[in-house]
Structure 1
Amino acid sequence: MPGFPRLGAQEHHAKSASSANGVKLRSQFFPDELISTNERYGTIHDNLRARRKGRAFKVKVPIYRDTETPWPWKESKHLHSPNGVQEQDARRGEDQAENFIYGDSMSYGPSCCGLQITMQARNLREARYLHDQLCPIGPILMALSAATPFFRGFLTDTDLRWNQSALAVDDRTSQELKASSSAPRWSHSAMYISDDPRCHSKYNKPVCKGGQRIEQQLQRGGMDALLASHYATILARDPIALTKKELQDHEDVDLFEILQSAVWPHVDFKVPSSDGKAGWRVEFRPLEVQPTDFENASFAIFVALLARTILHFDLNLYIPIEKVEENMQRAHTRNAVMSERFFFRRKIHPTQEEKRNLDDEYTMMTIDGVINGSESSSSEAIQSFPGLIPLVQSYVEDEYAAEPQEKRRQLLKHLDLIRKRATGELPTPASWMRRFVQEHEEYKQDSIVSERICFDLMQRIRDLGAAHAFSDELGT
């Protein structure tokens, strides 16, 4: 699962030798003893704190309002000890301090787990194209994989870890936040980068300023404008992951990799490795890790097959990048699979004519419509959409026709989990875990995940993972 449900809960570490308010994290809820001793982790933490110039670490997640949840809710008011960062917010009047769960450490980001899938392309051009086409897919599959209905021992009103992680590693100063002069390090991909003629400038938005000199220098070296703009946004940042040892031995250090590895887009464009063993790659990063191996395998297989399907049919999934950004936020809605609609391109085949008006190229679709397809509706002015699963199935039939039927059957079995998640026939892990808590005999309808509830949930997930139990609801 993406994160331990009670990580950072009050008194969670009271029975151990660990204590909060350590000299490293300075966190009220997260002891220093829990953090990794890896030098790079400590370096990133210290540099993030230094670069924020006094701005406190603040992770805010909306609390889920159940029937007995005190409302308006405030941790300091309804529990026995105050939440320092929440009280600071309330005193300053900078933000709405009520009805949110507050965290006060960078560790609430890196402590979460995701399912990341890296695919190698045949060449640079294919990698750039694949990067762009996967960007609009990211929010859709992120919502389908939702598995984070908890934060610090409370039920949340969101199902994902993404924004939580982004807030935890945001190194911008207060002035930069107000001026919107730079994007956060953990965010949606900032721009499309393909040299495909279908990648029109209208799909990108102006990139945050700050790297013009670097961009010009890259172009003078022979890099095209799009790629130069992409890398300028990375190279213009401070090297927060550079350790003292690497600074001293700089001749043997891959400085570019250190800079790039400290920027976390939802689809990452990766250069070939310095040893030549890996070529141009694309890393799909927004998925939540799943409770069982079968679920994780299903998402990994689907993403890999979808990437090949996109290349096979030369699909065009472009929508404005700001709509991808909006979709990333829509995906955070509780039970977004069933309750939200997402921006997606109407016509995705290369033979279909593009609209002159940008707004006519995309529409709002349900996740079921995107994944499984939809029929046209004259009453709602909706055109038919083929669906990603049917397209992947067509690719499998074309490319795996000579393979044994059992092999194809196994592939389709994994696709079936994705299909059923999209229709709502199977719940997301977040919905399943939320229901487990709400139906537990110790739950008091007050949004609190007690130690007993947490233990029973973790035991249930352990049994599912070890195949000691079967869950019809999860499809495993």
Structure 2
Amino acid sequence: MGLLSQGSPLSWEETKRHADHVRRHGILQFLHIYHAVKDRHKDVLKWGDEVEYMLVSFDHENKKVQLVLSGEEVLETLQEKGERTNPNHPTLWRPEYGSYMIEGTPGQPYGGTMSEFNTVEDNMRKRRKEATSLLEENQAVCTITSFPRLGCPGFTLPEYKPNPVEGGASKSLFFPDEAINKHPRFSTLTRNIRHRRGEKVVINVPIFKDKNTPSPFIEAFPEDDEAARASKPDHIYMDAMGFGMGNCCLQVTFQACSISEARYLYDQLATICPIVMALSAASPFYRGYVSDIDCRWGVISASVDDRTREERGLEPLKNNNYRISKSRYDSIDSYLSECGEKYNDINLTIDKEIYEQLLQEGIDRLLAQHVAHLFIRDPLTLFEEKIHLDDANESDHFENIQSTNWQTMRFKPPPPNSDIGWRVEFRPMEVQLTDFENSAYVVFVVLLTRVILSYKLDFLIPLSKVDENMKVAQKRDAVLQGMFYFRKDICKGGNAMVDGYGKAQNSAELAPEEYTLMSIDTIINGKEGVFPGLIPILNSYLENMEVDVDTRCSILNYLKLIKKRASGELMTVARWMREFITNHPDYKQDSVITDKINYSLILKCNQIANELCECPELLGSSFRKVKYSRSKTDSSN
């Protein structure tokens, strides 16, 4: 989760006093990096995934499942047995926001050969097995995006009550501070977001109206005036950073061969973000209720929204410099490549002084406005020992701002004095239940980058339309019901399209409109006369590549999953979870997820993840039956 400095964290008031210092030196650090590596070329394609995990404990006797607050201890052991003992260990482990969470990545980046695709799932299996081996009986490592009863009484083990009085980090009515990772960055972020905002964060998620759901659905918070004002009828109310950053996701980072290639990939993938987010939808439940959304994105966005009332446009500007249209966790606001410039139709708020400084230093306009937009934000955490730095050789101040702009895509300059190149990070995916599914989504995105670069594809549409797509993508069953703006002709300058879709096309042959509304099925699988489909393009690319039989078989299995999720032949995780709840004998059609229902759901998720049962409606026949040791949470215990 971004920069993890060590030291003595400053309060918000102290951090605020140093905000201009951090911004000023952050820009100097960026300039040092840029000028040192702007002409760097021929970096090899490397990439890696990040999977976030939750630790859960099953009480089989009482039919209850809780989040285990042992992430720090498990992480310490994993690192001690792994990278600290062997620098070439196949897995790396890092902390995450929740003290019930850990993050796993491959030990070394994957390379540019096609055979690397055949190692992704094996590495994810290693991670799951490594972490599971350290747990106690009846505990498990789960890849679930959102724990359904997060914030309900007794959802942690050990159990803690929230502390909404002054002095706590979040002051939440529901989320105890003990569930926050003990590293000072996380509680400091939580506290400083609240202090900067001037009130607790406000998250309102529409509730799913089932047959017996009260209408209007209203929760009373008589003990908390702030909650009473902030909560909305027919919505599930949440009030802490943990409700967003305490969810899990799946991310992929790519190293490009040059800065221009990185900018091109950043732009092209930005248009894909809402499509893949809807395809990976896996979080329909919040605070013990069934919601009317399928994705976590808006929940996280609200959970770290540190904007003041002035910045949100609720009061006249007096103490702040800008009206800011989005949370610092949201979709991107500008394309970076020259081909994207004409599609930058979102009003971009920038720090004009920083923008002019960057231009004077030789940074082009598009990159200068991107950085000047990131730097309208304040630093949220600062450590006393990290105020005065060597700007030529350190980048902590730049990363302080960069790493707390959590957007759909992240453009990542190389660290100072390293052999790492220019990178982009793809961030919208929801984590899936199984290593097979997570591998499928990762391989799909990575393979798509190869095709984008090889065929010089162009997915660009006005950025405002991408924002509209982001809103649609989070809705219930968006993968089947949603319509998304997408570019019709994705071949630049009339480049020949791959065999199998038709003859070479050029823009002169197409209707004047460059984009139109399409279903995800059309975008992914294609529709004759409308769009070729991403899967057919990927398949054609594979036919022209030298690929060994095992790797080709793996890739085709992964693409089959994506294809069938897009068509509706297979359910998304979100849809499968909804069906599971609906069919549970204890569910009263009132949108309530009880402890017992939650236990049944997470137990089933864990059995599917450990291949102890089949789930054809979710996985189809693509799922390879490679068993590993029986789960420590087998209900026969």
The two structures have a TM-score, normalised by structure 1, of 0.91
- Residue 397 of structure 1 and its aligned partner are, at CA, apart by 1.4
- Residue 275 of structure 1 and its aligned partner are, at CA, apart by 3.7
- Any idea what SS the aligned residue of 1:474 has? helix
Provide the residue aligned with 1:304 in structure 2: 446
- Structure 2 residue runs without a partner (length 5+): 1-143, 315-321, 495-504, 624-637
Alpha carbons of structure 1 residues 110 and 17: separation in structure 2 relative to 1, 3 Å: closer
Provide the residue aligned with 1:246 in structure 2: 386
Provide the residue aligned with 1:8 in structure 2: 151
* Residue pair 1:372, 1:387 contacting (<8 A) in 2 also: yes
Q: Which amino acid aligns with 1:48?
A: I
1:262 aligns with 2:404: yes
- Residue 353 of structure 1 and its aligned partner are, at CA, apart by 4.2
Provide the residue aligned with 2:541 in structure 1: 395
Residues of 1 paired with 2:312 and 2:403: CA distance? 22
Residues of 2 paired with 1:48 and 1:357: CA distance? 49
1:460 aligns with 2:613: no
Residues of 2 paired with 1:242 and 1:395: CA distance? 47
Q: Residues 34-433 of structure 1: matches in 2 within 5 Å?
A: 34-52=179-197, 54-76=198-220, 85-89=226-230, 97-178=232-313, 181-182=323-324, 183-195=326-338, 198-201=339-342, 203-247=343-387, 254-350=396-492, 351=494, 352-354=505-507, 360-376=513-529, 384-400=530-546, 403-433=547-577
Residues of 2 paired with 1:408 and 1:357: CA distance? 34
* Residue pair 1:149, 1:160 contacting (<8 A) in 2 also: yes
Q: Which amino acid aligns with 1:41?
A: F
- Residue 247 of structure 1 and its aligned partner are, at CA, apart by 2.3
Q: Deviations over 1:332-368 (max 9, x none)?
A: 1100011111000010112154479997110000000
From 170, 173, 181, give the equivalent of 1:28. Answer: 173
* Residue pair 1:85, 1:102 contacting (<8 A) in 2 also: no
Residues of 1 paired with 2:477 and 2:606: CA distance? 24
Residues of 1 paired with 2:406 and 2:360: CA distance? 27
- Residue 253 of structure 1 and its aligned partner are, at CA, apart by 5.6
Identity over aligned residues, as a percent?
A: 40
- Any idea what SS the aligned residue of 1:406 has? helix
Alpha carbons of structure 1 residues 459 and 406: separation in structure 2 relative to 1, 3 Å: same
- Residue 249 of structure 1 and its aligned partner are, at CA, apart by 5.9
Q: Point out 4+ residue stretches in structure 1 off by more than 6 angstroms.
A: 355-359
- Any idea what SS the aligned residue of 2:380 has? coil
- Residue 44 of structure 1 and its aligned partner are, at CA, apart by 1.5
* Residue pair 1:43, 1:241 contacting (<8 A) in 2 also: yes
* Residue pair 2:489, 2:510 contacting (<8 A) in 1 also: no
Alpha carbons of structure 1 residues 415 and 177: separation in structure 2 relative to 1, 3 Å: same
Residues of 2 paired with 1:393 and 1:181: CA distance? 46
Alpha carbons of structure 1 residues 255 and 17: separation in structure 2 relative to 1, 3 Å: closer
Alpha carbons of structure 1 residues 441 and 347: separation in structure 2 relative to 1, 3 Å: same
* Residue pair 2:154, 2:161 contacting (<8 A) in 1 also: no
Q: Which amino acid aligns with 1:89?
A: A
Residues of 1 paired with 2:541 and 2:520: CA distance? 21
Residues of 1 paired with 2:201 and 2:360: CA distance? 40
* Residue pair 2:160, 2:178 contacting (<8 A) in 1 also: no
Q: Deviations over 1:83-118 (max 9, x none)?
A: 76542236xxxxxx2100000111111101110001
- Any idea what SS the aligned residue of 1:75 has? coil
- 272-281 vs 133-142, greater mean Cα deviation: 272-281
Residues of 2 paired with 1:387 and 1:70: CA distance? 43
* Residue pair 2:333, 2:346 contacting (<8 A) in 1 also: no
Cα RMSD between the aligned structures? 2.2
- 325-334 vs 462-471, greater mean Cα deviation: 462-471
- Residue 42 of structure 1 and its aligned partner are, at CA, apart by 2.0
Alpha carbons of structure 1 residues 247 and 387: separation in structure 2 relative to 1, 3 Å: same
Matched residue count = 454
* Residue pair 1:166, 1:187 contacting (<8 A) in 2 also: yes
Residues of 2 paired with 1:222 and 1:306: CA distance? 32
* Residue pair 1:155, 1:449 contacting (<8 A) in 2 also: yes
- Structure 1 residue runs without a partner (length 5+): 91-96, 377-383
- Residue 24 of structure 1 and its aligned partner are, at CA, apart by 2.1
- Residue 17 of structure 1 and its aligned partner are, at CA, apart by 4.4
Q: Deviations over 1:278-311 (max 9, x none)?
A: 2111111000000110000000000000010111
Residues of 1 paired with 2:390 and 2:175: CA distance? 34
Residues of 1 paired with 2:446 and 2:545: CA distance? 14
Alpha carbons of structure 1 residues 10 and 98: separation in structure 2 relative to 1, 3 Å: farther
- Residue 11 of structure 1 and its aligned partner are, at CA, apart by 5.5
- Residue 205 of structure 1 and its aligned partner are, at CA, apart by 2.2
Alpha carbons of structure 1 residues 249 and 42: separation in structure 2 relative to 1, 3 Å: farther
Residues of 2 paired with 1:342 and 1:28: CA distance? 37
Q: Which amino acid aligns with 1:38?
A: H
The two structures have a TM-score, normalised by structure 2, of 0.68
* Residue pair 1:55, 1:174 contacting (<8 A) in 2 also: no
Alpha carbons of structure 1 residues 330 and 157: separation in structure 2 relative to 1, 3 Å: same
From 443, 448, 451, give the equivalent of 2:592. Answer: 448
